[in-house]
Chain A
């Protein structure tokens, strides 16, 4: 009896154990990838490159010292050894970011992230940015910088082949392809597109079509040219809606200024620069210090690019802002199937089929994408509507040669020699040198368009079949000769100005060539404010130093607030009883967009509603959203009784005061509904990693500043935020800088976001030329 009981008990135990073991086996099988990733100690996610290492270098010895902010100081015996080390170091700190941007521009995101990014991939494949990057490399390969680019790529690839990949690759289960010289060029194309790839010409055409040609008064041209025809029906709104997510983003801009030694404390010039780009995790810029016997340069570059793009060396310092010029044109054609008419001759559209790989539940799916091109460039197609695109970046461009020459420049002549190669994106370049020289030069390729032999602006859609608006000497995806562009010497520039400030505002009055219309250039508020501060200091004979420039870069005074608040006060009697206490906040306001200010909150939300209440009725009725609204400057200068203030949905005629009052009510409703107390409750820095994992995001922080203040920060509630992506003050007696985040893209690094609070508070760290920190990486000669 007992043995039977024992037997049953023993069998039950066995069954119980077997069930547990089956459960264990099931867990291991189902969670196998996760166990390999996350198991304590051995999980691959816990392995990262952040320590010291000895690395073979085929080009010579090099040493890397990381300073207190994770900035690599790279010292090498020659430039090839240097660039090899730069490649290794950038891959170590930013490899996932580099690969992500390469995938974006090559149209390979959906292979990793799935269906949601198919449209982005199709657009980037159709534009064939990679074809243009290959053309650039072909033209570049034989230059003095070509072999250095190759050495850089070797360094990146050594890292990919021999070191720990960043955690993002492990989570996505893929390994990056090797880094090629054309990939370096592609990074340049991405930056250029991000700054100049605007569809304003198409937008202008749609506005004229939907709201009537008279609506173009909201988008004035700065030229006296009255070329009247904004051709309609050549672009479909659905096509434009599809394209717009891929154009240069709103809010991208920059500030820079230089002040000659005449007005500075130590008698030598000062330069300030803060490019306003997307605030991303990790930051768009990577800071480094490069040193050989012949070179000593420090500043920032884009990960994937080996040379310093903004920075200084022992002799010169330079900074850039976007000119914002119109360097993109659009063409329509008379089509017959796969042929297009061009100057009375039928030509075949050049077609190439490319494979788009898309990650799906069933694995990688391959789809055919047809890339079409005409004589002008890519032919973008959606819903049967086609539009040809010419963009200065879609040819072999030489901006990296320019940058290489900047890095090596010893004086202004050397620098100007480099400027001649800066093709795209056209940049407002400011320069100072240790000899006391200053310079402003908006370098780049600016196309000249003709119709029937007459120069015309580029803000229209051209008849490509008639050969209108073509750029002479421009060969898409080839090597251009550029004769149909504004000659370098004729670009308006200033040699040794006392001071000059650029903030993406219009370059010059009454210039003989068209550079762009008001849609291309920024509202002038930041430029006005910078000049105002310098003028005041000069007037008071204040001797300017780096501290003063820091104060300027921290300036949060809002020029639009100064102008609009007086209009609000004029309309005070029409404001409701509910709105009046909020309007009262504005009466004693100092117009500073301080995160702790209630008035700044009221003004910001009021301005947003004011734009909407003024233009929303007409625009939304025509199927155009707020992205089509004109500039704030245009709104500010509308006549009190302008027809745009009248709400077309009401019987009575509204004027400016009515709309101001109505916008105040809306702002108050929003403030009360969302429980905002001060500006910082609304103006929050939210820098999110593209991966969507919360822990990879930077901490949310209340931020002062606005799109119109020198201390620049733009948020509109969407995840896309822009702001000062790098603040630099360069002198020859000590320079200062900060980036929004940290220099390392590796989550476990102490430099992942160690500068974020400094940045949001307007603080700086020294930008020293002393090699600092511990020796972390040693590159030994390969034998």
Chain B
């Protein structure tokens, strides 16, 4: 339950600011039972953010323009996945 709340809270914050990726990832790390699962949840969280973002652009009719953006397109995938996955490592310090 805690992980679901963390996941949703992270998504909501990420909608407004990318700090939500750090926040969501960190909470998922804290509420995971071990590091391996924490990394999986963090990765899935980042991936979910990106998928929702891509769906949002698709609904606006912009998906082909988005995928044509080259390095910017790849950066927009890398940023959520990397930040949220790495953020879970906070659990190791607790």
Interface residues of A (CB under 8 A from B): 13-14, 16-18, 20-21, 23-24, 27-28, 31, 34-36, 38-43, 45-46, 693-695, 747-748, 750
Contact = CB atoms under 8 A, between A and B. Distances in A.
Given A40-B53, A694-B70, A35 B79 contact: yes
A31 B71 CA distance: 13
B9 interface: no
Interface in B1-52: 14-18, 20-21, 35, 49-50, 52
Given A38-B76, A748-B62, A21 B89 contact: yes
Interface of B: 14-18, 20-21, 35, 49-50, 52-53, 56-57, 61-62, 65, 68-70, 72, 75-76, 79-80, 82-83, 86-87, 89-93
B69 A39 contact: no
B86 A41 contact: no
Contact of A40 (B70, B79, B87, B91): B79
Contacts, number: 86
Given A18-B92, A695-B68, A750-B61, A23 B86 contact: yes
7 contacts: A13-B35, A21-B86, A27-B86, A39-B21, A42-B14, A43-B18, A748-B65
A122 to B, nearest CB: 33
B11 to A, nearest CB: 9
A40 B76 contact: yes
Contacts of A16: 35, 89, 92
A42 B92 CA distance: 29
B75 A34 contact: yes
Contact of B92 (A14, A40, A747, A750): A14
Contact of B18 (A14, A21, A39): A39
A179 to B, nearest CB: 28
B76 to A, nearest CB: 5
Interface majority SS (helix, strand, loop, mixed), chain A: helix
Contact of B15 (A13, A41, A45): A41
B57 to A, nearest CB: 8
A446 B40 CA distance: 76
Contacts of A17: 35, 89-93
Contacts of A13: 35, 92
Nearest to A19: B89
Contacts of A42: 14-18, 20
3 residue pairs, one from A and one from B, having the closest CB atoms: A17-B92, A40-B53, A20-B89
Contacts of B20: 42
B94 to A, nearest CB: 9
B43 to A, nearest CB: 13
Contact of B14 (A31, A40, A693, A748): A40
B91 A24 contact: no
A13 B70 CA distance: 37
B41 to A, nearest CB: 15
A24 B69 CA distance: 25
A41 B83 contact: no
A24 B91 CA distance: 14
A752 to B, nearest CB: 8
A43 B76 contact: yes
Nearest to A24: B86
Contacts of A750: 61
A46 B50 CA distance: 13
Contacts of B50: 40
Nearest to B71: A693
B88 to A, nearest CB: 8
Contacts of B92: 13-14, 16-18, 20
A695 B69 contact: yes
Given A14-B92, A695-B68, A39 B80 contact: yes
Nearest to B49: A40
A421 B76 CA distance: 53
B62 to A, nearest CB: 6
A597 B90 CA distance: 67
A45 B72 contact: yes
B37 to A, nearest CB: 14
Contacts of B76: 38-40, 43
A748 B65 CA distance: 7
Contacts of A39: 14, 18, 21, 76, 79-80
Contact of B93 (A18, A38, A40, A41): A18
A20 B80 contact: no
Contact of A24 (B53, B56, B89): B89
A34 to B, nearest CB: 6
A65 B75 CA distance: 36
A747 B65 contact: yes
Contacts of A40: 14, 18, 49-50, 52-53, 76, 79-80
Contacts of A21: 86, 89-90, 93
A34 B77 CA distance: 12
Contacts of B56: 41
A135 to B, nearest CB: 43
Residue among A18, A27, A42 having the largest count of chain B Cβ atoms under 10 Å? A42
A36 B18 contact: yes
A549 to B, nearest CB: 35
A18 B94 CA distance: 11
A695 B80 CA distance: 22
Contacts of A36: 18
Contacts of A34: 75, 79
Contacts of A41: 14-16, 49, 53, 56
Contact of A693 (B70, B86, B93): B70
